[in-house]
Amino acid sequence: MKTAYMFPGQGSQAIGMGKELYDASPIAREVFDKVEAALGGGLLDLIWGGTMEELSQAKNSQPAIFAVSMAMWTERGGLNAAGDAVIFGHSLGEYSALCAAGAIGITDAAQLLRRRGELMQSAVPAGVGAMAAVIGIGWTMDDVAAICAEASVGGKVASVANDNGIGQVVISGACEAVEKVVEIALTKEGVKLAKVLPISVPAHSAMMEPMVAEFRAAVEAITWTVPKLPFISNKTADVMSDVAEITEALIFQLTHGVRFQECVLRAQGLGMSDFVEIGPGNLLSAIVRRIIA
């Protein structure tokens, strides 16, 4: 059986995640401890004894989800047990996927994700940006993009952030535009749900532009290597192996949408018949079941 390994992004975090694995597996424990050391301590106490509000801050949730994902990947055998496979992630999950494929080390990835989270939080003042979900029967990314264009006026812009397939689209941008998208969407036939999400960072939108230059410098300061498994990029929804192209795609996704549905369909087109989620929760698995049902 050919396997597509998928790594989740923000929203998968939970207090206590990974604790049983840490206690039961010396191999996984080594990964957790390596991430903890890379960040100067404090992350594991937060994951296992902090508040959800604090854990959900991007600077914490991103390296925390990465730590759990990499511990799970390592515990199941990592590259040695991957077999005939492809690998991809959802937003920050791309960093877990690339680390799992040997393109970046655990220490570098953990520190880069901490910096990514810090920069995302500082790029837009609290209360200025927002994200929302639009869910409907037969609705596509293009349909929601049209509503975003209608709602984006006076320099307040909303755009598609995630295409999760089968009528599930996440938008991101200025609060006023995002709220207008929700208002318009709820008048459309077939829309089952449209609501603002409890997220203050407008990820994957043009509002992240202020962080791009500084994040680019952080990415380019790291030594990257060619992935040892075929890596499907959120930018192109196709296999990407050139290191320069991969790092540019990671920067690109800061201000552009995640083409997750297309990544899943590309993996299926490459002959993958088994989709395995590596990380906390099962959100991606649920999305995949809808896409390829």
φ/ψ (deg, to 5) at 30: -60, -40
Catalytic status, residue 204: yes
What angle in degrees, to the nearest 10, is found between the helix axes of 106-123 and 212-220? 170
Residue of 12, 56, 61, 91 marked active site = 91
List the structure tokens of 277.
């989620």
How far from 277 is each of 28, 133, 197, 261, CA to CA, in Å? 17, 22, 23, 15
Which class for 283: exposed (0-12), middle (13-18), buried (19 or more C-beta within 10 A)? Answer: middle
Catalytic residue, chosen from 56, 96, 159, 204, is 204
The continuous run of DSSP H or E covering 131 comes out as: strand 129-136
Query: How many degrees, rounded to 5, is the angle at CA 192 between CA 190 and CA 198?
Result: 140
In the annotation, is 90 catalytic? no
Is the CB of residue 122 less than 8 Å from the CB of residue 131? no
- Active site amino acids: 91, 204
